[in-house]
A and B are shown apart, each in its own frame.
Chain A
Amino acid sequence: MGETPVAASETVDAPPPTRRFSLSAALDGFFFVFAGIASVWLAWLVLNESFGFGWWGIAFFVLFWLVLAYLVLPRLHRILTTIYVPDYFIGRARTSDGLLGDPVNLAVDGPEASVHAAMLAAGWTRADDVTLASSWRIVTGTLTRKSYDEAPVSPLFLFGRQQDFAYQQEVAGNPAKRHHVRYWRTPDGWLLPGGRRVDWLAAGTFDRAVGFSLFTLQVTHKIDADTDVERDHIVATVLGANPGARVHVLADFATGYHSRNGGGDTIRTDGDLPVIDVSDVPAPALAVTRGGDT
């Protein structure tokens, strides 16, 4: 075989070589996989319990589903997708389990303050980060039917990083439906396929209902299959509210997606990638107000 070819992925080789393979990291890898296998056994044992307690068996069956959907399948997906999903830009965000998530269907040029200013002017609300406090507010909001405009969005990953921020628009009186768009800052010097440089990439999708994820069986938002509608909605609202914003469309950038997101929803798109330039949108001096942080 000769010498091993240098891996193409820069992220693998980025850390200093001495830290490449430590005992702690090897142990971690082992425990990560062993815990996944052990959790399969646990799910099996719990499922067996559900046959033995009459009506109480239903409770065990629900427990089995919880173990399967929230522990076993995410861990197995994480292990497998680490290996079989390529870790470079393929126009898709990835879920925290490593599955393919929402399609990247929007790009933005301009400094962060201008992006915030443009989105706020266009009538979008910045989503809170997922914390214990915001999660608790979702629970209480659901129970008391109080709307939570800044509700956090689930984390999706691009360039190995969670979104830097997200914006959303509530649909009046329906917590199951909402517009939302996640933003990632592109790495310095990173170019889109085709050679164009953009400052931000974004994935905008419309949550149309609550349902079960096809791959993890978790309760999740189902997104609208026609992601172009949401993309065009974002572009239209931003352009409409910001005279300084311009748009340039990279036609057929990702033509012909007929695929699924991390929840198993179908995605349809014409493949155009609008690049919004918000550099000329005046940004108030760092007055990015955040709701919910009290």
Chain B
Amino acid sequence: MNVEKRAAFEPPAELVRPVAPPPDMRRPVSTGAGAVLVVLRVIAGVVWLIALAAQWDQVLEDDGGIDPESAEGVASYGVLVFILVFGAVVLLVQLLLAFAVYRGSNAARLTLMILATLSIMVSWLDYVAGREITIRTTLVTLALDILVLLALSSRAARSYAQRPRRGRGAPATATPVRTPRVG
């Protein structure tokens, strides 16, 4: 007789079990909070970019050991412009993604979580390398990244982003009126 013993724990695969939310699920608090937090994160990013531009000379001297008056220092303004443009594009994209998450997009949610994870990992490497993270330096942006990740990875936010939509591959059952917008 072959009697399999049942394990005394559930398989960790439970954590990645696909969710089956109802199509008429209302937007959970975590989805809204996640979108708002991303907007706050964008604002923090704008502040950071402005601060960087305003203190560029000092950053050059302190971190790069470059005299801002030298030819090298003048050329570095090209780097600054590049950072500002690149940062602005990234922030703009994040803003659009925040809106998409609010509307319930799963791709936008995953993209934002990847961005937040990368940002957190960079902060972690800085921290391990000995840079202090306090409220005066990067704690606020790091905290926002972690909060975004917590909110968007929650089960409710995940269910909402993966809820079945009407009219996408669904059989044409009677849906005479457009889905009314709630709220």
Q: Does B181 contact A (CB under 8 A)?
A: no
Q: Is the CB of B143 within 8 A of A52?
A: no
* Complex Cα spacing A45 to B142, Å: 10
The proximity string for B residues 120-145 relative to A, scoring 1 for CB distances below 8 Å and 0 otherwise, is 10001000000001110001001101
The proximity string for A residues 72-87 relative to B, scoring 1 for CB distances below 8 Å and 0 otherwise, is 0001001100111111
Residues of B within 8 A of A38 (CB): 120, 145-146, 149-150
Q: Is the CB of B149 within 8 A of A15?
A: no
Q: Is the CB of B10 within 8 A of A84?
A: yes
In the complex, number of A-B residue pairs with CB atoms less than 8 Å apart: 95
| Known pairs A35-B150, A75-B150; A12 contacts B143 (CB<8 A) | no
Within 8 A of B (CB), among A242-286: none
Least distance between B44 CB and chain A CB atoms (Å): 15
* Complex Cα spacing A1 to B117, Å: 37
Q: Does A5 contact B (CB under 8 A)?
A: yes
Residues of A within 8 A of B51 (CB): none
Stretch at the interface among A17-25, A137-145, A210-218: A17-25
Q: Is the CB of A12 within 8 A of B15?
A: no
Residues of B within 8 A of A25 (CB): 16-18
Chain B contact residues: helix, strand, loop or mixed: helix
Q: Is the CB of B15 within 8 A of A41?
A: no
* Complex Cα spacing A41 to B26, Å: 32
Within 8 A of B (CB), among A142-173: none
* Complex Cα spacing A35 to B6, Å: 30
| Known pairs A27-B110, A31-B153, A42-B143; A15 contacts B10 (CB<8 A) | no
Q: Does A29 contact B (CB under 8 A)?
A: yes
Q: Is the CB of A29 within 8 A of B16?
A: yes
Least distance between B24 CB and chain A CB atoms (Å): 13
Q: Is the CB of A45 within 8 A of B133?
A: yes
Chain B residue nearest to A130 (CB atoms) is: B29
Residues of A within 8 A of B16 (CB): 21, 25-26, 28-29
Q: Is the CB of B158 within 8 A of A28?
A: yes
Q: Does B106 contact A (CB under 8 A)?
A: yes
Q: Does A34 contact B (CB under 8 A)?
A: yes
Residues of B within 8 A of A82 (CB): 10, 12, 14-15
* Complex Cα spacing A42 to B143, Å: 6
Q: Does B4 contact A (CB under 8 A)?
A: yes
Within 8 A of B (CB), among A38-82: 38-39, 41-42, 45-46, 48-49, 52, 71, 75, 78-79, 82
List residues of chain A with CB under 8 Å of any chain B CB.
5, 7-9, 11-12, 15, 19-22, 24-29, 31-35, 38-39, 41-42, 45-46, 48-49, 52, 71, 75, 78-79, 82-87, 131-132
List residues of chain B with CB under 8 Å of any chain A CB.
4, 6, 9-18, 20, 26, 29, 106, 110, 113, 117, 120, 124, 133-135, 139, 142-143, 145-147, 149-150, 152-155, 158, 162
